[in-house]
Structure 1
Amino acid sequence: MKKAVFILSLGLFSLASNAQVTIQDGGSTLTFRKSADFNDAAIAGSKFLNENYQNAKVNKGSQDFLIRYNAYTDIMEYKNGSDVLELIKEKNTHFAFQDGSVYELFTYNLGGTSYERYHQVLVENKNVKISKFQSIKLIPAQKATNSYEKDTQASYKPNREVYFITYNNQTFEFDGKQKTLDKIIPGKADAIKKFYKENKIKENDTDMIKLGNFLATI
Protein backbone atom coordinates (compact mmCIF):
# COMPACT_ATOMS: atom_id res chain seq x y z
CA MET A 1 0.00 0.00 0.00
CA LYS A 2 2.93 2.39 0.66
CA LYS A 3 3.93 2.00 -2.98
CA ALA A 4 0.44 2.96 -4.09
CA VAL A 5 0.43 6.12 -1.94
CA PHE A 6 3.84 7.17 -3.23
CA ILE A 7 2.86 6.81 -6.88
CA LEU A 8 -0.42 8.65 -6.33
CA SER A 9 1.32 11.55 -4.57
CA LEU A 10 3.82 11.89 -7.40
CA GLY A 11 0.93 11.84 -9.88
CA LEU A 12 -0.91 14.68 -8.15
CA PHE A 13 2.28 16.73 -8.14
CA SER A 14 2.62 16.22 -11.91
CA LEU A 15 -0.99 16.80 -12.97
CA ALA A 16 -0.53 20.42 -13.94
CA SER A 17 2.02 19.43 -16.56
CA ASN A 18 -0.39 16.94 -18.17
CA ALA A 19 2.03 14.12 -17.37
CA GLN A 20 0.98 10.49 -17.61
CA VAL A 21 0.53 9.06 -14.11
CA THR A 22 0.03 5.52 -12.81
CA ILE A 23 -1.67 4.34 -9.63
CA GLN A 24 -0.93 0.81 -8.46
CA ASP A 25 -2.97 -0.63 -5.61
CA GLY A 26 -2.82 -4.34 -4.96
CA GLY A 27 -3.78 -6.06 -8.22
CA SER A 28 -5.17 -2.88 -9.82
CA THR A 29 -3.44 -0.35 -12.06
CA LEU A 30 -4.82 2.95 -13.38
CA THR A 31 -2.95 5.18 -15.86
CA PHE A 32 -4.23 8.69 -16.54
CA ARG A 33 -3.57 12.35 -17.33
CA LYS A 34 -5.41 15.50 -16.29
CA SER A 35 -8.38 16.45 -18.48
CA ALA A 36 -8.12 19.69 -20.43
CA ASP A 37 -10.24 22.50 -19.01
CA PHE A 38 -13.30 23.08 -21.20
CA ASN A 39 -16.36 25.12 -20.36
CA ASP A 40 -19.41 23.69 -22.09
CA ALA A 41 -22.02 25.37 -19.88
CA ALA A 42 -23.46 27.12 -22.96
CA ILE A 43 -23.98 23.80 -24.77
CA ALA A 44 -27.30 21.98 -24.43
CA GLY A 45 -27.44 18.27 -23.75
CA SER A 46 -24.64 16.10 -22.41
CA LYS A 47 -21.51 14.43 -23.72
CA PHE A 48 -22.06 11.58 -21.26
CA LEU A 49 -24.34 8.56 -21.51
CA ASN A 50 -24.56 8.82 -17.73
CA GLU A 51 -23.42 12.00 -15.97
CA ASN A 52 -22.78 10.14 -12.72
CA TYR A 53 -19.52 8.44 -11.82
CA GLN A 54 -19.81 4.77 -10.90
CA ASN A 55 -17.53 2.41 -9.08
CA ALA A 56 -15.77 0.27 -11.67
CA LYS A 57 -13.06 -2.35 -11.67
CA VAL A 58 -10.44 -1.48 -14.29
CA ASN A 59 -8.39 -3.98 -16.31
CA LYS A 60 -10.03 -6.83 -14.35
CA GLY A 61 -8.40 -5.67 -11.11
CA SER A 62 -9.93 -5.86 -7.63
CA GLN A 63 -9.92 -2.15 -6.70
CA ASP A 64 -12.92 0.13 -7.36
CA PHE A 65 -12.42 3.53 -9.02
CA LEU A 66 -14.99 6.25 -9.76
CA ILE A 67 -15.34 6.16 -13.57
CA ARG A 68 -17.67 7.53 -16.25
CA TYR A 69 -17.62 7.29 -20.05
CA ASN A 70 -17.36 10.45 -22.15
CA ALA A 71 -19.18 9.44 -25.34
CA TYR A 72 -18.17 12.65 -27.14
CA THR A 73 -14.41 12.12 -26.78
CA ASP A 74 -14.54 8.30 -26.40
CA ILE A 75 -12.53 8.60 -23.19
CA MET A 76 -13.02 7.09 -19.75
CA GLU A 77 -12.82 9.69 -16.99
CA TYR A 78 -11.63 9.06 -13.43
CA LYS A 79 -12.71 11.31 -10.55
CA ASN A 80 -10.07 11.81 -7.87
CA GLY A 81 -11.29 14.37 -5.35
CA SER A 82 -12.03 17.53 -7.33
CA ASP A 83 -9.85 16.47 -10.27
CA VAL A 84 -11.29 14.91 -13.43
CA LEU A 85 -8.65 12.73 -15.06
CA GLU A 86 -8.57 11.09 -18.50
CA LEU A 87 -7.58 7.44 -18.58
CA ILE A 88 -4.94 6.51 -21.15
CA LYS A 89 -6.76 4.31 -23.67
CA GLU A 90 -4.11 1.76 -24.53
CA LYS A 91 -3.42 1.08 -20.84
CA ASN A 92 -7.03 0.97 -19.64
CA THR A 93 -8.86 -1.55 -21.78
CA HIS A 94 -11.56 -3.16 -19.62
CA PHE A 95 -14.15 -1.64 -17.25
CA ALA A 96 -16.68 -3.58 -15.18
CA PHE A 97 -19.16 -1.09 -13.68
CA GLN A 98 -21.23 -1.65 -10.55
CA ASP A 99 -24.48 -1.58 -12.58
CA GLY A 100 -23.31 -4.67 -14.45
CA SER A 101 -22.31 -2.95 -17.70
CA VAL A 102 -18.93 -3.83 -19.18
CA TYR A 103 -16.89 -1.66 -21.53
CA GLU A 104 -13.88 -2.86 -23.47
CA LEU A 105 -11.42 -1.25 -25.86
CA PHE A 106 -11.81 -2.70 -29.37
CA THR A 107 -9.41 -2.28 -32.29
CA TYR A 108 -10.66 -2.90 -35.83
CA ASN A 109 -10.69 -1.68 -39.43
CA LEU A 110 -13.68 -0.13 -41.19
CA GLY A 111 -13.47 0.95 -44.81
CA GLY A 112 -9.69 1.07 -44.72
CA THR A 113 -9.56 3.15 -41.53
CA SER A 114 -8.27 1.75 -38.24
CA TYR A 115 -10.27 2.46 -35.07
CA GLU A 116 -9.56 2.05 -31.37
CA ARG A 117 -12.79 2.68 -29.46
CA TYR A 118 -14.64 1.72 -26.32
CA HIS A 119 -17.68 -0.52 -26.82
CA GLN A 120 -20.23 -1.78 -24.35
CA VAL A 121 -20.04 -5.58 -24.34
CA LEU A 122 -23.56 -7.04 -24.53
CA VAL A 123 -22.71 -10.73 -24.58
CA GLU A 124 -19.54 -12.82 -24.68
CA ASN A 125 -19.59 -16.57 -25.26
CA LYS A 126 -16.79 -18.84 -26.44
CA ASN A 127 -15.28 -17.23 -29.55
CA VAL A 128 -18.16 -14.78 -30.15
CA LYS A 129 -18.65 -11.35 -28.63
CA ILE A 130 -21.39 -8.83 -29.48
CA SER A 131 -20.88 -5.20 -28.53
CA LYS A 132 -22.18 -1.74 -29.37
CA PHE A 133 -20.51 1.60 -29.92
CA GLN A 134 -22.34 4.63 -28.54
CA SER A 135 -21.18 8.12 -29.40
CA ILE A 136 -22.28 11.73 -29.09
CA LYS A 137 -21.74 14.55 -31.58
CA LEU A 138 -21.62 18.32 -31.13
CA ILE A 139 -24.06 20.34 -33.23
CA PRO A 140 -22.59 23.86 -33.60
CA ALA A 141 -24.57 26.96 -32.70
CA GLN A 142 -26.07 28.84 -35.64
CA LYS A 143 -26.92 32.49 -36.04
CA ALA A 144 -30.29 33.38 -37.50
CA THR A 145 -30.05 34.33 -41.17
CA ASN A 146 -33.14 36.55 -41.13
CA SER A 147 -35.58 38.22 -38.73
CA TYR A 148 -37.99 35.26 -38.86
CA GLU A 149 -35.46 32.79 -37.49
CA LYS A 150 -33.87 32.47 -34.07
CA ASP A 151 -30.29 31.73 -33.10
CA THR A 152 -29.82 28.05 -32.25
CA GLN A 153 -27.78 26.91 -29.29
CA ALA A 154 -24.90 24.47 -29.67
CA SER A 155 -25.95 21.03 -28.44
CA TYR A 156 -24.73 17.51 -27.83
CA LYS A 157 -26.77 14.87 -29.66
CA PRO A 158 -26.40 11.06 -29.67
CA ASN A 159 -25.34 9.33 -32.86
CA ARG A 160 -26.99 6.10 -33.98
CA GLU A 161 -25.85 3.11 -31.94
CA VAL A 162 -23.72 0.71 -33.96
CA TYR A 163 -23.47 -3.01 -33.20
CA PHE A 164 -20.41 -5.19 -33.75
CA ILE A 165 -19.61 -8.89 -33.74
CA THR A 166 -16.18 -10.11 -32.74
CA TYR A 167 -15.61 -13.61 -34.11
CA ASN A 168 -12.30 -15.47 -33.87
CA ASN A 169 -10.65 -12.25 -32.62
CA GLN A 170 -11.81 -10.17 -35.60
CA THR A 171 -14.36 -7.37 -35.12
CA PHE A 172 -16.99 -6.56 -37.76
CA GLU A 173 -19.70 -3.91 -37.93
CA PHE A 174 -23.06 -5.69 -37.83
CA ASP A 175 -26.40 -4.39 -39.10
CA GLY A 176 -28.44 -7.22 -37.58
CA LYS A 177 -29.16 -8.86 -40.94
CA GLN A 178 -28.94 -12.58 -41.63
CA LYS A 179 -26.95 -12.10 -44.87
CA THR A 180 -24.33 -10.04 -43.04
CA LEU A 181 -24.00 -12.69 -40.35
CA ASP A 182 -23.55 -15.42 -42.99
CA LYS A 183 -20.47 -13.56 -44.24
CA ILE A 184 -19.02 -13.04 -40.77
CA ILE A 185 -19.54 -16.66 -39.70
CA PRO A 186 -19.21 -18.86 -42.80
CA GLY A 187 -20.39 -22.45 -42.96
CA LYS A 188 -23.32 -21.97 -40.58
CA ALA A 189 -25.90 -20.61 -43.01
CA ASP A 190 -28.56 -23.27 -42.38
CA ALA A 191 -28.48 -22.91 -38.59
CA ILE A 192 -28.46 -19.11 -38.84
CA LYS A 193 -31.37 -19.11 -41.30
CA LYS A 194 -33.45 -21.33 -38.99
CA PHE A 195 -32.68 -19.11 -35.98
CA TYR A 196 -33.63 -15.92 -37.81
CA LYS A 197 -36.84 -17.46 -39.08
CA GLU A 198 -37.85 -18.44 -35.55
CA ASN A 199 -36.73 -15.27 -33.75
CA LYS A 200 -37.18 -12.31 -36.13
CA ILE A 201 -33.93 -10.67 -35.00
CA LYS A 202 -33.78 -6.87 -35.02
CA GLU A 203 -31.08 -4.30 -34.17
CA ASN A 204 -31.62 -3.90 -30.44
CA ASP A 205 -29.83 -4.97 -27.27
CA THR A 206 -32.25 -7.74 -26.34
CA ASP A 207 -32.07 -9.42 -29.75
CA MET A 208 -28.30 -9.02 -29.98
CA ILE A 209 -27.89 -10.77 -26.62
CA LYS A 210 -30.21 -13.55 -27.79
CA LEU A 211 -28.19 -13.86 -30.99
CA GLY A 212 -24.90 -13.99 -29.10
CA ASN A 213 -26.17 -16.80 -26.89
CA PHE A 214 -27.33 -18.71 -29.98
CA LEU A 215 -23.98 -18.30 -31.77
CA ALA A 216 -22.24 -19.92 -28.81
CA THR A 217 -24.15 -23.13 -29.59
CA ILE A 218 -23.18 -23.60 -33.25
Structure 2
Amino acid sequence: MKTIHTKTTLKKLRYVLVFCLLLSLEGIAQCSGGSYGPPPPQGAIKLASKASMDFDNSLNAVIVRNQSNTYGPNTIGTPYMQKDFSTARIEQVNKVYLVRYNALTDEMEVKGGDDSEVLVISKQRNYEINQHANNLKYRVLEKIDSEKENDLGYYISIEDNDNISLYRKQCKKLVKKKQSSYGSSASSITTEFKDMRCEFYIEKAHNGHAIKVPKKKKEFLALFPDKAEQISVFIKKNRIKLNKEKSLKKLIKYINTI
Protein backbone atom coordinates (compact mmCIF):
# COMPACT_ATOMS: atom_id res chain seq x y z
CA MET A 1 0.00 0.00 0.00
CA LYS A 2 2.86 2.29 0.84
CA THR A 3 4.42 1.73 -2.63
CA ILE A 4 1.16 2.58 -4.40
CA HIS A 5 0.80 5.73 -2.30
CA THR A 6 4.37 6.78 -3.15
CA LYS A 7 3.78 6.26 -6.90
CA THR A 8 0.58 8.31 -6.74
CA THR A 9 2.43 11.12 -4.95
CA LEU A 10 5.25 11.12 -7.52
CA LYS A 11 2.70 11.17 -10.35
CA LYS A 12 0.96 14.19 -8.83
CA LEU A 13 4.34 15.89 -8.33
CA ARG A 14 5.18 15.41 -12.03
CA TYR A 15 1.88 17.05 -13.04
CA VAL A 16 2.66 20.02 -10.76
CA LEU A 17 6.17 20.40 -12.23
CA VAL A 18 4.85 20.26 -15.81
CA PHE A 19 2.19 22.84 -14.97
CA CYS A 20 4.81 25.15 -13.42
CA LEU A 21 7.03 24.75 -16.48
CA LEU A 22 4.19 25.73 -18.81
CA LEU A 23 3.50 28.81 -16.70
CA SER A 24 7.15 29.83 -16.79
CA LEU A 25 7.29 29.42 -20.59
CA GLU A 26 4.16 31.53 -20.96
CA GLY A 27 5.76 34.19 -18.78
CA ILE A 28 8.85 34.24 -21.00
CA ALA A 29 6.71 34.60 -24.14
CA GLN A 30 4.81 37.49 -22.56
CA CYS A 31 8.02 39.26 -21.51
CA SER A 32 9.67 38.84 -24.89
CA GLY A 33 8.00 42.05 -26.05
CA GLY A 34 10.38 43.93 -23.76
CA SER A 35 9.61 46.99 -21.69
CA TYR A 36 9.29 49.19 -24.78
CA GLY A 37 6.05 47.86 -26.14
CA PRO A 38 3.42 45.12 -26.19
CA PRO A 39 4.37 41.44 -26.39
CA PRO A 40 4.56 39.88 -29.87
CA PRO A 41 1.38 38.36 -31.33
CA GLN A 42 0.54 34.84 -30.22
CA GLY A 43 2.72 32.30 -32.02
CA ALA A 44 4.92 35.01 -33.55
CA ILE A 45 8.17 33.60 -32.15
CA LYS A 46 7.45 30.14 -33.57
CA LEU A 47 6.51 31.64 -36.95
CA ALA A 48 9.64 33.78 -36.93
CA SER A 49 11.90 30.81 -36.23
CA LYS A 50 10.30 28.78 -39.03
CA ALA A 51 10.43 31.68 -41.49
CA SER A 52 14.10 32.27 -40.72
CA MET A 53 14.93 28.66 -41.55
CA ASP A 54 13.57 28.93 -45.09
CA PHE A 55 14.43 32.60 -45.46
CA ASP A 56 16.07 32.22 -48.87
CA ASN A 57 12.94 30.61 -50.26
CA SER A 58 10.61 33.32 -49.02
CA LEU A 59 12.59 36.50 -49.68
CA ASN A 60 15.00 36.67 -52.60
CA ALA A 61 16.57 40.04 -51.80
CA VAL A 62 18.94 38.82 -49.11
CA ILE A 63 22.68 38.93 -48.59
CA VAL A 64 23.92 36.00 -46.53
CA ARG A 65 26.88 37.14 -44.50
CA ASN A 66 28.76 36.22 -41.36
CA GLN A 67 28.17 39.10 -38.97
CA SER A 68 30.68 38.04 -36.33
CA ASN A 69 32.49 41.36 -36.66
CA THR A 70 35.19 41.87 -34.05
CA TYR A 71 35.65 45.41 -32.83
CA GLY A 72 38.44 44.54 -30.41
CA PRO A 73 38.66 43.09 -26.89
CA ASN A 74 38.32 46.51 -25.24
CA THR A 75 35.12 47.54 -26.97
CA ILE A 76 32.33 48.88 -24.79
CA GLY A 77 28.65 48.79 -25.72
CA THR A 78 26.84 47.44 -28.78
CA PRO A 79 26.08 48.63 -32.34
CA TYR A 80 22.46 47.53 -31.92
CA MET A 81 19.54 49.61 -30.74
CA GLN A 82 18.14 46.41 -29.27
CA LYS A 83 20.81 43.78 -28.61
CA ASP A 84 18.57 40.71 -28.80
CA PHE A 85 16.66 39.57 -31.87
CA SER A 86 12.93 40.19 -31.67
CA THR A 87 9.96 39.35 -33.86
CA ALA A 88 9.06 41.64 -36.75
CA ARG A 89 6.77 41.41 -39.76
CA ILE A 90 8.21 42.23 -43.17
CA GLU A 91 5.10 43.46 -44.95
CA GLN A 92 6.33 42.85 -48.50
CA VAL A 93 6.52 39.09 -47.89
CA ASN A 94 3.84 39.03 -45.17
CA LYS A 95 5.96 36.94 -42.80
CA VAL A 96 7.35 37.26 -39.29
CA TYR A 97 11.10 37.01 -38.68
CA LEU A 98 13.59 37.42 -35.82
CA VAL A 99 15.36 40.73 -36.50
CA ARG A 100 17.51 43.45 -34.94
CA TYR A 101 18.71 46.81 -36.24
CA ASN A 102 22.42 47.63 -36.50
CA ALA A 103 22.63 51.40 -36.01
CA LEU A 104 26.34 51.50 -36.85
CA THR A 105 26.03 49.98 -40.33
CA ASP A 106 22.37 50.91 -40.93
CA GLU A 107 21.42 47.28 -41.60
CA MET A 108 18.54 45.05 -40.58
CA GLU A 109 19.81 41.64 -39.50
CA VAL A 110 17.75 38.45 -39.49
CA LYS A 111 18.54 35.26 -37.60
CA GLY A 112 18.97 32.28 -39.91
CA GLY A 113 18.12 28.63 -39.37
CA ASP A 114 21.48 28.06 -37.72
CA ASP A 115 21.80 30.11 -34.51
CA SER A 116 25.30 31.22 -35.54
CA GLU A 117 24.11 32.41 -38.97
CA VAL A 118 22.93 35.97 -39.49
CA LEU A 119 21.32 37.21 -42.69
CA VAL A 120 21.33 40.84 -43.77
CA ILE A 121 18.31 42.09 -45.67
CA SER A 122 19.21 43.82 -48.90
CA LYS A 123 17.62 47.27 -48.76
CA GLN A 124 14.72 47.55 -51.15
CA ARG A 125 12.76 50.74 -51.76
CA ASN A 126 9.62 51.10 -49.65
CA TYR A 127 10.34 47.98 -47.58
CA GLU A 128 8.41 48.14 -44.31
CA ILE A 129 9.44 46.23 -41.19
CA ASN A 130 7.16 46.32 -38.16
CA GLN A 131 9.10 45.38 -35.04
CA HIS A 132 6.85 44.07 -32.26
CA ALA A 133 9.09 44.53 -29.20
CA ASN A 134 9.51 48.31 -29.53
CA ASN A 135 6.32 48.83 -31.53
CA LEU A 136 8.46 50.49 -34.21
CA LYS A 137 7.91 50.72 -37.95
CA TYR A 138 11.03 50.92 -40.14
CA ARG A 139 10.81 52.04 -43.76
CA VAL A 140 13.48 51.99 -46.43
CA LEU A 141 13.80 55.42 -48.03
CA GLU A 142 16.30 57.12 -50.34
CA LYS A 143 18.08 60.07 -48.76
CA ILE A 144 17.88 63.20 -50.90
CA ASP A 145 20.96 65.41 -51.44
CA SER A 146 23.28 62.61 -50.41
CA GLU A 147 26.83 62.26 -51.70
CA LYS A 148 26.07 58.59 -52.40
CA GLU A 149 24.00 57.44 -55.34
CA ASN A 150 20.80 55.58 -54.36
CA ASP A 151 21.52 56.16 -50.67
CA LEU A 152 18.93 53.82 -49.13
CA GLY A 153 18.51 53.54 -45.38
CA TYR A 154 16.16 52.59 -42.56
CA TYR A 155 13.98 55.32 -41.07
CA ILE A 156 11.63 55.03 -38.09
CA SER A 157 8.10 56.22 -38.79
CA ILE A 158 6.82 58.85 -36.33
CA GLU A 159 3.92 60.40 -38.22
CA ASP A 160 2.52 58.53 -41.21
CA ASN A 161 0.36 60.45 -43.66
CA ASP A 162 -0.40 60.32 -47.39
CA ASN A 163 0.62 63.99 -47.55
CA ILE A 164 3.66 64.56 -45.28
CA SER A 165 5.26 61.82 -43.15
CA LEU A 166 7.82 62.31 -40.40
CA TYR A 167 10.73 59.96 -39.60
CA ARG A 168 13.51 59.60 -37.06
CA LYS A 169 16.98 58.35 -37.99
CA GLN A 170 18.97 56.60 -35.27
CA CYS A 171 22.73 56.22 -35.63
CA LYS A 172 25.70 55.07 -33.61
CA LYS A 173 29.40 55.72 -34.02
CA LEU A 174 32.50 53.91 -32.85
CA VAL A 175 34.77 56.17 -30.82
CA LYS A 176 38.38 55.26 -30.07
CA LYS A 177 39.96 56.35 -26.80
CA LYS A 178 43.64 56.10 -26.00
CA GLN A 179 44.39 55.40 -22.35
CA SER A 180 47.87 55.56 -20.87
CA SER A 181 48.88 53.38 -17.97
CA TYR A 182 49.79 55.38 -14.88
CA GLY A 183 53.54 55.75 -14.39
CA SER A 184 54.50 54.17 -17.72
CA SER A 185 54.57 54.92 -21.41
CA ALA A 186 52.35 51.94 -22.23
CA SER A 187 48.92 52.70 -23.60
CA SER A 188 45.83 50.77 -24.63
CA ILE A 189 43.10 51.56 -27.13
CA THR A 190 39.52 51.37 -25.93
CA THR A 191 36.64 51.69 -28.40
CA GLU A 192 33.08 52.55 -27.42
CA PHE A 193 29.76 52.62 -29.25
CA LYS A 194 28.03 55.95 -28.73
CA ASP A 195 24.58 57.14 -29.73
CA MET A 196 24.61 60.02 -32.18
CA ARG A 197 22.08 62.81 -32.05
CA CYS A 198 18.86 61.74 -33.79
CA GLU A 199 18.10 63.33 -37.13
CA PHE A 200 14.62 63.93 -38.50
CA TYR A 201 13.35 63.54 -42.05
CA ILE A 202 10.13 64.11 -43.94
CA GLU A 203 8.66 62.27 -46.92
CA LYS A 204 6.17 63.82 -49.32
CA ALA A 205 3.25 61.77 -50.66
CA HIS A 206 4.97 58.48 -49.81
CA ASN A 207 7.36 59.00 -52.76
CA GLY A 208 10.20 57.09 -51.05
CA HIS A 209 12.46 60.16 -50.69
CA ALA A 210 13.78 61.22 -47.27
CA ILE A 211 14.35 64.96 -46.91
CA LYS A 212 16.36 66.04 -43.87
CA VAL A 213 14.52 68.53 -41.66
CA PRO A 214 16.54 71.80 -41.66
CA LYS A 215 17.39 73.36 -38.30
CA LYS A 216 16.75 76.88 -39.58
CA LYS A 217 13.18 78.11 -39.90
CA LYS A 218 13.78 79.87 -43.24
CA GLU A 219 15.14 76.68 -44.82
CA PHE A 220 12.23 74.64 -43.46
CA LEU A 221 9.65 77.07 -44.86
CA ALA A 222 11.33 76.77 -48.27
CA LEU A 223 10.16 73.13 -48.36
CA PHE A 224 6.54 74.35 -48.37
CA PRO A 225 6.49 77.56 -50.47
CA ASP A 226 2.70 77.53 -50.91
CA LYS A 227 2.07 77.26 -47.17
CA ALA A 228 5.10 79.13 -45.82
CA GLU A 229 3.17 82.04 -44.29
CA GLN A 230 0.71 79.82 -42.39
CA ILE A 231 3.47 77.50 -41.18
CA SER A 232 5.59 80.45 -40.04
CA VAL A 233 2.73 81.78 -37.90
CA PHE A 234 2.13 78.32 -36.40
CA ILE A 235 5.83 77.85 -35.56
CA LYS A 236 5.99 81.20 -33.79
CA LYS A 237 2.67 80.81 -31.95
CA ASN A 238 3.44 77.28 -30.72
CA ARG A 239 7.16 77.84 -30.12
CA ILE A 240 8.07 74.94 -32.36
CA LYS A 241 11.64 73.65 -32.17
CA LEU A 242 12.79 71.99 -35.37
CA ASN A 243 15.21 69.67 -33.55
CA LYS A 244 12.68 68.27 -31.08
CA GLU A 245 10.54 65.25 -31.94
CA LYS A 246 7.46 66.35 -30.00
CA SER A 247 7.46 69.79 -31.65
CA LEU A 248 8.03 68.37 -35.13
CA LYS A 249 5.24 65.84 -34.75
CA LYS A 250 2.86 68.65 -33.77
CA LEU A 251 4.03 70.76 -36.71
CA ILE A 252 3.70 67.99 -39.31
CA LYS A 253 0.21 67.15 -38.06
CA TYR A 254 -0.74 70.79 -38.58
CA ILE A 255 0.80 70.94 -42.08
CA ASN A 256 -1.27 67.92 -43.06
CA THR A 257 -4.44 69.87 -42.25
CA ILE A 258 -3.77 72.95 -44.37
Q: TM-score, length-normalised on structure 2?
A: 0.67
**Which protein has the bigger helix share?**
2
Kindly provide the CA deviation profile for residues 8-28 of structure 1, in whole angstroms up to 9, marking residues without a partner as x. 56xxxxxxxxxxx7232xxx7
Count of equivalent residues: 200
> Which one has the largest radius of gyration?
2
The percent identity for this pair of structures is: 21
Describe the SS at the equivalent of 2:160.
Answer: strand
Q: 1:146 to 1:162 in 2, by over 3 A?
A: same
Alignment of 1:172 with 2:204, yes or no, is no
* Residue of structure 2 equivalent to 1:87: 121
> What one-letter code is carried by the residue in structure 2 that aligns with 1:90?
Q
Unaligned runs of 5+ in 1: 10-20
* Residue of structure 1 equivalent to 2:82: 50
Match of 1:138 among 158, 174, 178: 174
Alignment of 1:14-163 (within 5 A): 22-24=56-58, 31-40=62-71, 41-80=73-112, 81-82=114-115, 83-90=117-124, 93-98=127-132, 99-110=134-145, 112-114=147-149, 115-142=151-178, 144=180, 147=183, 151-163=188-200
CA distance in 1, matches of 2:165, 2:213: 12
Describe the SS at the equivalent of 2:76.
Answer: coil
CA distance in 2, matches of 1:158, 1:217: 34
Alignment of 1:212 with 2:248, yes or no, is no
Kindly provide the CA deviation profile for residues 81-137 of structure 1, in whole angstroms up to 9, marking residues without a partner as x. 412221112378211111321111111233544421111111111221111211111
Describe the SS at the equivalent of 1:39.
Answer: coil
CA distance in 2, matches of 1:181, 1:159: 22
Describe the SS at the equivalent of 2:230.
Answer: helix
Unaligned runs of 5+ in 2: 1-49
CA RMSD of aligned residues (A): 3.0
- 2:125, 2:140 within 8 Å by CA — same for their partners in 1? no
> What one-letter code is carried by the residue in structure 2 that aligns with 1:208?
L
Kindly provide the CA deviation profile for residues 139-195 of structure 1, in whole angstroms up to 9, marking residues without a partner as x. 134253984886451111122211111124343211354322211111101210121
Describe the SS at the equivalent of 2:200.
Answer: strand
CA distance in 2, matches of 1:217, 1:177: 22
Q: 1:122 to 1:88 in 2, by over 3 A?
A: same
1:70: how far off? 0.3
Kindly provide the CA deviation profile for residues 51-80 of structure 1, in whole angstroms up to 9, marking residues without a partner as x. 122211113443211111000111101113
Flag as ranges the 4+ runs of structure 1 deviating above 4 A.
145-150
CA distance in 1, matches of 2:78, 2:193: 6
**Which protein has the bigger strand share?**
1
